[in-house]
Chains A and B, each alone.
Chain A
Amino acid sequence: MMENGFSSPRNDRFNPADLRVLVVDDDPTWLKILEKMLKKCSYEVTTCGLARDALSLLRERKDGYDIVISDVNMPDMDGFKLLEHVGLEMDLPVIMMSVDGETSRVMKGVQHGACDYLLKPIRMKELRNIWQHVYRKRIHEVRDIENIEGFESIQMTRSGSDQSDDGHFLTGEDLTFARKRKDAESKHDDKDSGDASSTKKARVVWSVDLHQKFVKAVNQIGFDKVGPKKILDLMNVPWLTRENVASHLQKYRLYLSRLQKENELKSAVAGIKQTDSPSKDSANSFGLQNSISVHHHNDVSSGSYGFSGSNSLVQNVNPKGLEGDLKGIVTIPVTESKRPLTVDVPNQRNVRSSRSSQIGFDCSFAPGESEVSFTAFDSTVPSQYPWSDVPQTQFKPEHKPLQLEDGFSQLSLPARGHHIQNDRLQSCPSISPGSSVADRDNNLKPLDTMYKSNYASAISVGTAVDSFPVQTKSHMVNHQSFEAIPPATSSMKSHGLNLSSISDLESAQRNINWGIGSSLAALDDDLQFCWLQGDCLPMNLGLQDINCSGYNDPGLISEVPFHLYDTMRFDYDHHYDPTEYSVIDQDGCSAIMGDNAQGQK
């Protein structure tokens, strides 16, 4: 299903006259007029009197249309529903139209992802410009692809080595980890893990009815607590598998987060300053995390969103290229996005990282705290591997608490995330020189006053004990979902942390990077995994990857913590070979979902 949705973006020159438009309106008179008008614009026009027909047309010819114009009121299917489906499955720009210019309706259209809302009677001059929506989208896609292509090549080199069914995202080393993770999962939920491999390839067409059942189930469960298994049970469709649901849920979240991204860029900013707030958890290590999380917040606030964020991230990554230099990273990436803050953050991190890799690690762990953090934990675990050189077994992803105990006997703090951090810190010193803390502080200050304080605390954390404020910050980030989702956020932050740590590590050790990358991926998003695989392994792109993930995460956080993850994956998948990745996604999803679900339990 996933492949369908994503037509390969075309790099060729964009010609507005080549636009292929699908017009959907139950009113034949309007259909005739619009057809004529669009033809006068020299677009290629297909008309359709029923929303359902339109949907099947779109499904039949995945790459057959560039844009959809749909009436809002149609007897067979609400235009908003169609819009939702198109957004979910084809990711095409959709223009809504109606005689009704009521603000609430227009708003609803925009909320559902309409790129424009035209009032009838529609004028030629309005249609002459609709190609801009396609063009805009394409520009973004091309940008993504360019960035990704670099990764892809990398990936190619290594692809031959290890593509196990389950562990796609993981590199050779990680495979073991993946397996363990799987095992752990299976302990949690045997059925789930079982399905994953067997039904991976099954494709389900999500009919309107099916989707409605799905949405109903999601609403019934509550968005925060939703998991594929629960949905599946509620939907009660015998042939549907958990994998199918997981994949669809992922898309749905992606879709929602995209909407949110579009609708709510405004709100995100506030979080950054709040970082000071006391952390709930008692763990010492958090301090570091906090600092990191702050950065993320900044990013978020700056307005980068999961998607856009990813793009910018990618770009950034490229410039940095394979080099492990922290500086390079810092300079390039963030600037694109409008937020000044973000830029600063990377720098800071880099600075630190070079000196002390430990910090980075700490960060990664932090996320584990909240329920959601489960996933995060898993991910964090892998990262630890490289650093401490601890045997993989220790890191078994299963439960956060478990991991902590195993891996980090030394500092085990009450909070899971804390434990991890502590361990790392200790281990880190070995890797990077201990002096790092002081240096960091200095560096940080110049960069951002705001952060300085945080950093300082973070540094102190390096010692292992300190403030826990960071975590709270994460909460701040999530506007909407604060209460429900806090855990998720925290995990996100952890990503950010990882990133920072990664950059440091990079300079120091590629291995480390690896670990981080894996950890990131594991944490929440399959997406990240993908990146990691391609990027990090062969080239020591770790830095880039990390950065990307970090950026993404913040963006994600700002939007919707949970959804974010999914979304990220999506994007990545698209870029990559769709089939391959889709599979991955599903697996990843299921795994993640399972984690989430468990965590919530």
Chain B
Amino acid sequence: MERNQQLRRQLAAMRQSLFDQGYLDEQFIQLEELQDDANPNFVEEVVTLYYRDSARLLSSIEQALEKSNTLDFNKLDTYMHQFKGSSSSIGAKKLKAECTQIREYCKAGNGDGCVKTFQQLKRDYATLKKKLESYFQVARQAGPKEIASRSK
């Protein structure tokens, strides 16, 4: 019981830091609220799905950016729009903001800006993934109830 308490506290802290550091926004809370008995692991499922699905898109973007001399801004913009939409689903605030930034660079025809911001985006993408994975891991240890903890 003691250990469980500890896990819960840890979980809450992890979660809070994701918000505090600007990785997540309220959409994540929405997901938590959708979680119920019918889908006890809903949040995790959604996050997993997001990372599975967006990986392909990310590599497409990477490929597009490799041809930096003949960068197709329209295409890139479409990708970024897609990626942004996807990222909004889990409330990945930072990623969303970076998508927006890249799209602005696209409009301005700023290839360097696109590349630089995308590098940052990739890092944040990976970081968030790691953080969420460990978060869910702890959540699983703490038991189903904890997942739904909703300290705001």
Determine the distance from Cα of A121 to Cα of B96 in the docked complex, in whole angstroms: 11
Q: Pick the contact of B46: A32, A73, A100, A120 (CB < 8 A).
A: A32
Q: B19 within 8 Å of A by Cβ?
A: no
Q: A28 within 8 Å of B by Cβ?
A: yes
Q: B90 within 8 Å of A by Cβ?
A: yes
Which residues of chain B come closer than 8 Å to A26, judged between CB atoms? 82
- Chain A contact-residue range equals 10 to 19
A121 pairs with B30, CB closer than 8 A: yes
Q: Pick the contact of A29: B34, B50, B81, B96 (CB < 8 A).
A: B50
A33 pairs with B34, CB closer than 8 A: yes
- Chain B contact-residue range equals 20 to 34
- In A80-105, which residues have CB < 8 Å from any B CB? 98-100
7 interchain residue pairs of minimum CB distance: A99-B85, A121-B27, A29-B89, A29-B50, A120-B88, A121-B88, A30-B89
Interface of B is mostly: helix
Closest-CB distance, A97 to chain B (whole angstroms): 9
- What is the interface of chain A, defined by CB distance below 8 A to chain B? 26-30, 32-33, 36-37, 40, 71, 73, 98-100, 120-121, 123-124
Closest-CB distance, B98 to chain A (whole angstroms): 13
Extra contacts, 15 of them, besides A26-B82, A27-B82 (Cβ < 8 A), are A27-B86, A27-B89, A29-B50, A29-B54, A29-B89, A30-B86, A32-B49, A33-B34, A36-B39, A37-B34, A71-B85, A73-B81, A121-B88, A121-B91, A124-B34
B45 pairs with A32, CB closer than 8 A: yes
Which residues of chain B come closer than 8 Å to A73, judged between CB atoms? 78, 81-82, 85
- When C-beta atoms are compared, the residue in chain B nearest to A123 turns out to be B30
The 29 listed contacts between A and B (C-beta, < 8 Å) are A27-B53, A27-B86, A29-B46, A29-B49, A29-B50, A29-B53, A29-B54, A29-B86, A29-B90, A30-B85, A32-B45, A32-B46, A33-B31, A33-B46, A36-B42, A40-B34, A40-B36, A71-B85, A73-B81, A73-B82, A73-B85, A99-B81, A99-B85, A99-B88, A100-B81, A120-B85, A120-B88, A121-B30, A124-B34
Q: B8 within 8 Å of A by Cβ?
A: no
- When C-beta atoms are compared, the residue in chain B nearest to A98 turns out to be B85
Determine the distance from Cα of A99 to Cα of B88 in the docked complex, in whole angstroms: 8
- What is the interface of chain B, defined by CB distance below 8 A to chain A? 27, 30-31, 33-34, 36, 39, 42, 45-46, 49-50, 53-54, 78, 81-82, 84-86, 88-91, 96
- When C-beta atoms are compared, the residue in chain B nearest to A26 turns out to be B82
- When C-beta atoms are compared, the residue in chain A nearest to B49 turns out to be A29
- When C-beta atoms are compared, the residue in chain A nearest to B54 turns out to be A29
Determine the distance from Cα of A33 to Cα of B35 in the docked complex, in whole angstroms: 10
Determine the distance from Cα of A121 to Cα of B26 in the docked complex, in whole angstroms: 9
A36 pairs with B49, CB closer than 8 A: no
Determine the distance from Cα of A32 to Cα of B46 in the docked complex, in whole angstroms: 7
Which residues of chain A come closer than 8 Å to B96, judged between CB atoms? 99
Determine the distance from Cα of A30 to Cα of B49 in the docked complex, in whole angstroms: 10
Which residues of chain A come closer than 8 Å to B53, judged between CB atoms? 27-29
- When C-beta atoms are compared, the residue in chain B nearest to A34 turns out to be B89
Determine the distance from Cα of A29 to Cα of B42 in the docked complex, in whole angstroms: 11
* Max count, chain B CB within 10 A of own CB: residue among A28, A29, A30, A33: A29
- When C-beta atoms are compared, the residue in chain A nearest to B53 turns out to be A28
Q: Pick the contact of B84: A29, A36, A99 (CB < 8 A).
A: A99
Which residues of chain B come closer than 8 Å to A99, judged between CB atoms? 81, 84-85, 88, 96
Determine the distance from Cα of A29 to Cα of B56 in the docked complex, in whole angstroms: 14
Closest-CB distance, A150 to chain B (whole angstroms): 48
Determine the distance from Cα of A37 to Cα of B38 in the docked complex, in whole angstroms: 12
Closest-CB distance, A172 to chain B (whole angstroms): 61
* Max count, chain B CB within 10 A of own CB: residue among A26, A71, A120: A120
Determine the distance from Cα of A100 to Cα of B90 in the docked complex, in whole angstroms: 16
Determine the distance from Cα of A27 to Cα of B82 in the docked complex, in whole angstroms: 8
- When C-beta atoms are compared, the residue in chain A nearest to B85 turns out to be A99
- When C-beta atoms are compared, the residue in chain A nearest to B52 turns out to be A28
Which residues of chain A come closer than 8 Å to B81, judged between CB atoms? 73, 99-100
- When C-beta atoms are compared, the residue in chain A nearest to B51 turns out to be A29
- When C-beta atoms are compared, the residue in chain A nearest to B100 turns out to be A99
Closest-CB distance, A58 to chain B (whole angstroms): 23
Closest-CB distance, A72 to chain B (whole angstroms): 9
Are A124 and B30 also in contact (CB < 8 A) when A29-B46, A29-B49, A73-B78 are?
yes
Determine the distance from Cα of A30 to Cα of B27 in the docked complex, in whole angstroms: 12
- When C-beta atoms are compared, the residue in chain A nearest to B28 turns out to be A121
- When C-beta atoms are compared, the residue in chain A nearest to B34 turns out to be A36
Closest-CB distance, B64 to chain A (whole angstroms): 15
Which residues of chain A come closer than 8 Å to B88, judged between CB atoms? 99, 120-121
Determine the distance from Cα of A73 to Cα of B91 in the docked complex, in whole angstroms: 19
Determine the distance from Cα of A28 to Cα of B84 in the docked complex, in whole angstroms: 14
Which residues of chain B come closer than 8 Å to A40, judged between CB atoms? 34, 36
- When C-beta atoms are compared, the residue in chain B nearest to A71 turns out to be B85
* Max count, chain A CB within 10 A of own CB: residue among B33, B42, B45, B49: B49
Which residues of chain B come closer than 8 Å to A98, judged between CB atoms? 85
Determine the distance from Cα of A28 to Cα of B50 in the docked complex, in whole angstroms: 8
Determine the distance from Cα of A67 to Cα of B124 in the docked complex, in whole angstroms: 38
Closest-CB distance, B58 to chain A (whole angstroms): 14
Determine the distance from Cα of A36 to Cα of B40 in the docked complex, in whole angstroms: 12
* Max count, chain B CB within 10 A of own CB: residue among A30, A40, A121, A123: A121
